A and B are shown apart, each in its own frame.
Chain A
Amino acid sequence: MKQQEFFSSRWALIIATVGIAVGTGNIWRFSRIVAQNGGGSFLIPWVIFLLIWSVPLIIAEFGIGKSARLGPVGAITKTAGSKFAWMGAFVVFVSTAIMFYYSVVTGWCLRYFIASVSGDLLKVDDHLTYWNNFASSYEPLLFHFIAISFVAFVILRGVKKGIEKATKILVPSLLIILIILFFRAITLPDAIEGIKYFFTPDWNVVLDSKVWLNALTQNAWDTGAGWGLILTYAIYMRKKEDVPLNAVLIGFGNNTISIIAGITIFSTVFALSSVDAMNQVTQSGPANTGLTFIYLPILFNKISGSEAVNMFFASIFFLALFFAAVTSLMSMVELSTRTLIDFGLNRKRAIGIITITGFLLGIPSALDITFLANQDWVWGVGLILSGAFIAFAIRRYGIDKFRTEVINGLGTDIKIGKWYNYIIGILIPIQVVVLVSWWLISSVSWDPEWWNPFHAENAGTVIFQWTIVLTILIVFNKYIADKTLNTDSVE
């Protein structure tokens, strides 16, 4: 099929891709993980993994998508060979499984934004009860429906008129809101205490393997490296578009936003919390919702003596969260849609199927937060495997060939040196092996019944669900490869 749609400029591509990378993980997950892992001692490995995990994988995704002009299944099959179509299918499966519950989370953000604008949120006395009442009602289902329908409407309009147009409004708005919140937070009295905590290393935990594991998973999470989402947007890069500079820019841009969000949250919590601030940041709450949906609304009430000012800051915070979530959700729906397009469906039909399936399979997460936490755990860890499969595809293709012909090929602004070969060929596999082995060994101590597949967050449930999915995909490998490579896609 002749490629019909492209992003109109480099900046349109960068804005859309920043929209993928910047999600709710940058805002609420990042702050919690920093607090749980010793503040500044976490930031050092987190920056290292930006350089040796996220950036190389973002470059890889851009390169594979641009050269193959197919979604992850077809692109990985083309790059690694038809025996490995199942790997591409696994990448798609993981991101799609995340999409099911991410739409629910997007709905929560929208619901809290509405509650802030209407003033209801600031009138609440007990935010934990308020959250529990909301989570156990049918409202999350309604907002999940609204979130996925809105995204489907955008995607239906195509890449240029849909994704590009929407992200050109949403991403800059998100940045402006975050900057407003940042300056408000750092000018609060005692905000400096939060900033100090954020950057002070705790030398007792600097070499703790758990800190390094969390630094890697957080980086994989918040940059979107290895998800296949950037690969999907790279399909729509212009032929003469640069790969390496754009990729590095997105990695650094994403982490910049995480730091802005982190400083904002730590400053706010330390300035306004009358009780032990750190306890509040580290307390997860159900499905890690504690800080954002239970504790921060309490703090918004204390920003100033004026109810209107407090309402304004609460509203723009939840609006920023919603924008961050919706631009990431957009890329997840586009990834699944593009996969069906590569299977021969037209865009309209593909979106219809993905939206209905996404809504239906998101229902369990909308109604049961334990189910959502389980899916978040299983497929969040699955991203490490997805990243490994992308690196493996390049190894099969020939890392040096990929670097010289694809990354440093037509349109490149900067040349990537031989160091890239060592990172993809040696460092990424080492990181995957060390990480997965460490995780398996330590998960035995987290849960005495670590083998039980029906526990929400243990090794057993991950191994059980991964095994089912991988077995099915490997059995149907030939069908998946033939269908993707021999079908003429209709955009």
Chain B
Amino acid sequence: MEVSTIITMVIVLGIVWGGLILLLLRAINYEKHKSQDGEN
């Protein structure tokens, strides 16, 4: 596999998939806190 292919893969998947996982974890965390505080 060419270096440029690997770099593109890392950038695209890192931003999109990595970003999604990070955001999902944050949302789950906020929801957990909200339900503990009885806000939901």
Contact = CB atoms under 8 A, between A and B. Distances in A.
B8 A201 contact: yes
B27 A249 contact: yes
Interface residues of B, number: 23
A240 B8 CA distance: 39
Contact of B15 (A47, A199, A413, A414): A47
Contact of A199 (B8, B19, B39, B40): B8
B31 A259 contact: no
A200 interface: yes
A186 to B, nearest CB: 13
B23 A252 contact: yes
Contacts, number: 66
Nearest to B16: A255
Given A199-B8, A256-B17, A259-B17, A245 B1 contact: no
Interface string B2-24: 10111011011101110110011
Main secondary structure of the interface of B (DSSP, over half): helix
B4 A201 contact: yes
A50 B15 CA distance: 10
How large, as a class, is the contact surface on chain A?
Answer: 20 to 34
Contacts of B12: 40, 43-44, 47, 199, 259
A248 B27 CA distance: 11
Given A200-B4, A200-B5, A245 B26 contact: yes
Nearest to B1: A196
A413 B28 CA distance: 11
Contacts of B4: 40, 200-201, 203
Main secondary structure of the interface of A (DSSP, over half): helix
B5 A199 contact: yes
A9 interface: yes
Contacts of B40: 9
Given A196-B5, A200-B4, A200-B5, A240 B20 contact: no
Interface hub of A200, A246, A249, A252 (most chain B Cβ within 10 A): A252
Contact of B23 (A10, A40, A44, A248): A248
A256 B22 CA distance: 13
A47 B26 contact: no
B30 A242 contact: yes
Contact of A40 (B5, B30, B39): B5
Interface in A327-383: none
Interface hub of B4, B15, B19 (most chain A Cβ within 10 A): B19
A253 interface: yes
Nearest to B31: A10
Interface string A1-32: 00000000111001000000000000000000
Contacts of B31: 10-11
Interface in A44-60: 44, 47, 50
B20 A256 contact: yes
A253 B19 CA distance: 9
Interface string A193-212: 00010011101000000000
A12 to B, nearest CB: 12
B17 to A, nearest CB: 6
Given A40-B8, A200-B8, A50 B16 contact: yes
A413 B27 contact: yes
A329 B39 CA distance: 33
Nearest to A246: B27
Contact of B16 (A196, A199, A259): A259
Interface of A: 9-11, 14, 40, 43-44, 47, 50, 196, 199-201, 203, 240, 242, 245-246, 248-249, 252-253, 255-256, 259, 413-414
Interface of B: 1-2, 4-6, 8-9, 11-13, 15-17, 19-20, 23-24, 26-27, 30-31, 39-40
11 contacts: A40-B8, A44-B8, A47-B11, A199-B8, A203-B4, A240-B39, A245-B27, A249-B20, A249-B23, A259-B13, A413-B30
Given A43-B12, A245-B30, 15 more contacts: A10-B27, A40-B12, A44-B8, A47-B11, A47-B12, A47-B16, A199-B6, A200-B2, A201-B4, A201-B8, A203-B4, A248-B23, A249-B20, A252-B16, A252-B20
CB-CB nearest 5 A-B residue pairs: A40-B8, A252-B20, A200-B5, A199-B9, A413-B30
